[in-house]
Amino acid sequence: MEIVVDSKLSINLDNNYYLKIVNNVKEITINSIDIRNLNLYNILKKEKLILRIDFNSFDKKQYKKILKRLLFIKKIISKNGIGIMENSKFLLGYIINYNQDSKEQNDFILAINVIFYKTRYERYNYIYDTVCDYLDNFFYGKNLCDFKDNKCGEKKGTTSVMGCCRHYKYKLLGPLYSKLVNCEHLTKEYKCGAKCISCKLYTCDYLRKKGIVFKIKDILLLDVFFRPLQKYYIKYMVYTPKEKVIKRLMIT
């Protein structure tokens, strides 16, 4: 999902929710609750939960804690209903001091969007696609791997082609009889047919020397919604199609 502010200064989320942008707290006429102060005691007293998110009142170091608390509370109170119906959509809350150019703030809003999916599978599927899109866009059209004649920068001066889309295939007789083959998910057009998030997150020494590295703890959606073992699988299930990765995450 791309964050788009419409003419009514609102941001539409999935599942029929939306957030309204205001300039200051005085513009909010409904009884709302500061997202930093969510706890069971103060929300159970309310019939409906309307959030107030003032981006000047907390910094990105607090994002994870706030989002985890919102996820917990949403699970508990979702039967009461969250947001109020306005124009056939649910107003989920207000945002103040929003900077549309801030990647961190937009990631925070995307994480709120994730929280309001109904099922864990929907959440994982959305996060998976969103992070893959981000990584694809990061590389798109830049040739950061410096491919030339099918050889990337890391493999320059070797006979190896296809970058890191190759792996050893072991024969029945053991590792000594292995051979290097193209990944079975590499298409004829030299594209990945597997949408493997672990491969997309991988950067070799060549890219690291250029300062390109992706850490799960730096990607808010991955950091907030997955447990350590799930993060391990996200990082290391290379050469694996999306469906298999998500299946593993669901049972972990």
Question: Quick one: which segment of 20-28, 158-166, 229-237, 242-250 binds ligand SF4 (CB under 6 A)?
Answer: 158-166
User: What residues between 232 and 251 interact with ligand SF4 by CB under 6 A?
Assistant: 238-239
Answer yes or no whether residue 199 interacts with ligand SF4 by CB under 6 A. yes
Give the integer Cα–Cα distance in Å for 21 and 19.
7
The region of 22-30, 37-45, 59-67, 152-160 touching ligand SF4 under the rule CB under 6 A is 152-160
Site for ligand SF4 in 40-79 (CB under 6 A): none
Which amino acid is it at 62? Q
Question: CB 135 → ligand SF4: shortest distance, Å?
Answer: 11
- Residue 145 makes contact with ligand SF4 by CB under 6 A: yes
CB of 177 to ligand SF4, least distance (A): 22
**Which residue spans within the chain are E strands per DSSP?**
10-12, 17-22, 33-34, 51-54, 84-86, 89-96, 166-171, 174-182
CB of 213 to ligand SF4, least distance (A): 11
Packing angle of the helix pair 228-236, 242-251 (nearest 10 deg): 160
d(CA 176, CA 166): 17
153 makes contact with ligand SF4 (CB under 6 A)? yes
Q: How far is the CB of 198 from ligand SF4 (least distance, A)?
A: 8
Report the C-alpha gap between 91 and 80 in whole angstroms.
Answer: 15
Count of other CB atoms within 10 angstroms of residue 40: 12
Dist CA 62 CA 113 (whole Å)? 18
Q: Which of 33, 77, 204, 246 binds ligand SF4 (CB under 6 A)?
A: 204
Say how far apart CA 93 and CA 18 lie, in whole Å: 7
Q: 107 or 154, CB closer to ligand SF4?
A: 154
Binding residue for ligand SF4 (CB under 6 A) from 64, 69, 185, 231? 185
d(CA 252, CA 243): 14
Shortest distance, position 210 Cβ to ligand SF4, whole Å: 9
Pairing of strands 89-96, 51-54: parallel
* Residues at the site binding ligand SF4, with contacts judged by CB under 6 A: 145, 152-155, 163-165, 183, 185-186, 192, 194, 196, 199, 203-204, 206-207, 238-239
